[in-house]
Amino acid sequence: MGEYIKQVLDDLRQRNPHENEFLEAVAEVFSALDPVIDSDPKYRRNAVLERMSEPDRTISFRVVWQDDEGKPHVNRGWRVQFNGAIGPYKGGLRFSEHVSLGTLKFLGFEQTFKNALTGLPMGGGKGGSDFNPIGKSDSEIMRFCQAFMTELYRHIGPDTDVPAGDIGVSAKEIGYLYGQYRRLTGAFQNGVLTGKDLSFGGSLLRPEATGYGAVAYLQEVLKHENDTLAGKRIAVSGYGNAAWGVIKKAASLGAVPVTLSGRDGYIYDLDGITTEEKINSLLEIRADRNRSVRMYAERFHVPWFPDERPWGRVKADIWMPCATQNEVSAEDAQRIVDAGGRYYLEVANMPAEPDALHILQKNGLICAPGKAVNAGGVAVSGLEMSQNALRLSWTAEEVETRLNTIMHNIYRDSVDAAERYGFGYDLIKGANIAGFLKVAEAMIKQGLI
Ligand code: GLU
């Protein structure tokens, strides 16, 4: 890494000493940029890196809600509006006890590049709360969402900031959030949130989009290797929206997803998670108050491994982490290398610790980053915004055709960018450079703000 970028990262570390996830995410993107920065003095002259690594603004608020016994609870809510150069802030809301401002800064930073890669006019943002939805009743979730929106509504809007779901926030929560937004503003502006139910302006295929997009990207990678998906064993982690969509699409194309995981362990289904009943059971696990993947093991009589994740512990051709950040350690990466398999595609945002990624790449696995592979989710959110603005709805086929084109372009732009700046076939560096170029151009053209 060149001196200038090192200096920018050092300054950033001084200003954010406790935000490791955020610092790692910035370092990962900036480590691809030496040849870009050297190619044109405009990047330094306009302080693009310095500005890009500081959020436009962060909003923090108190959320007070009552449980079913009438006891009050206080949580913290945030919205990080990271970069608005190419469009309204756009990105999910995460409800989990692990959420902190540092996590949301990391995710908002990643979102900026991901959204740019889609080619749609969306800036980057992320929000959420340290509220843990697991074990809560439906009415508790509703009251929490109403309290959360009572603070958030003044900061968002169809042309300013458009939140969506993420971990702990699915169509049900989006419904409660939208209901409260509508009550507070007195206007039917459904373009303010995406991931809505179809009954009030949601897009067909939005639930499937992250997983379907990831499989579309995977097929581009396989094509490059003269390989095909049929019969490939895929190790998946997580059990939520992303994992479900990957499994549904991959199974329909003849691949064999074999694992699922949650916070308490993983299941290994040697026959494959391929039948409709098995795939639909993921929806039931997610709707259950306690959300344990163990339910799958009990129902389908497959082995359950408590407190472990599948990395390198099963036989797989393709590894696809779909759960959350930092779930693949260096040890896991070594185990994956030993277990064989050629492909490692991140569907979660930065699921690998930095050392882990280097081990996988060094040992010849083809690796692709979350910000490219999982961009189909936010891409279809962008299509949902377009449909809301036009007051029409596209068919599932129309949405899927657009999604596939977007994923194809993300892959192609990444390959081209890495090639052009001397990195060869490197999907990680390529995605970071391609996303950077789009945001940087808009920032420079809009002057020093
Ligand atoms: N949370 C998802 C993501 O990380 C979706 C965001 C959105 O649709 O705005 O991209």
- Chunked into runs of 10 residues, the chain (449 residues) has average pLDDT values of 97 96 97 98 98 98 98 98 98 98 98 98 98 96 98 98 98 98 98 98 98 98 98 98 98 98 97 98 93 96 98 98 97 97 97 95 98 98 98 98 98 98 98 98 97
Q: How far is the CA of 224 from the centre of ligand 1 (A)?
A: 27
Distance 91 CA to ligand 1 centre (A): 5
Pocket probe for ligand 1: among 83, 177, 210, 386, the residue whose CB has the most ligand atoms within 8 Å is: 210
Give pLDDT, residue 290. Answer: 86
Name the pTM for this structure. Answer: 0.98
pLDDT of residue 354: 87
Note the Cα 91 to chain centre separation in Å.
9
Task: Give the sheet arrangement for strand 265-268, strand by strand.
Answer: 259-262, 265-268, 304-306
Q: Give every CB contact of residue 293 below 8 A, 6+ residues apart in sequence.
A: 239, 260, 261, 262, 264, 265, 266, 267, 285, 304
Sign of the alpha-carbon torsion through 60, 61, 62, 65: negative
**Residue of 90, 114, 126, 196 marked active site:** 126
The backbone torsions φ and ψ at residue 163, rounded to the nearest 5 degrees and listed phi first, read -70, 170
d(CA 149, CA 154): 9
Atom of ligand 1 nearest to the CA of 206: 8
Cβ neighbours, 10 Å, residue 28: 19
Nearest residue CA, atom 10 of ligand 1?
Answer: 378
To test the ligand 1 pocket, which listed residue (112, 114, 162, 166) has its Cβ within 8 A of the most ligand atoms? 166
> Is 213 in a helix, a strand, or coil?
helix
Q: Tokens 């340290």 map to which residue?
A: 130
Residue 266, C-beta contacts closer than 8 angstroms, at least 6 positions apart: 237, 259, 260, 293, 304, 305, 308, 309, 310, 313
Q: Are 235 and 258 in contact (CB under 8 A)?
A: yes
Ligand 1 atom nearest to 93, measured from its CA: 1
Reduce the DSSP state of residue 232 to 3 states and report it: coil
DSSP three-state, residue 137: coil
**Which atom of ligand 1 is closest in space to residue 163's alpha carbon?**
9
Active site residue 315: no
Q: What angle do CA 258, 167, 183 make, to 5 degrees?
A: 140
Assigned token pair, 407? 């994923």
Residue type, 244: W
Q: Could you tell me the domains of the chain? A: 3-188 (3.40.50.10860), 209-364 (3.40.50.720)
Looking at residue 289, its pLDDT comes to 84
Burial (CB count within 10 angstroms: exposed 0-12, middle 13-18, buried 19+), residue 389: exposed
The pLDDT value given to residue 403: 98
Of all atoms in ligand 1, which is nearest to the CA of residue 374?
A: 10
Distance of CA 157 to the CA centre of its chain: 21
Q: Identify the residues whose C-beta falls under 6 Å from ligand 1.
A: 90-92, 164, 166, 194, 377-378, 381
CA distance 314 to 102: 33
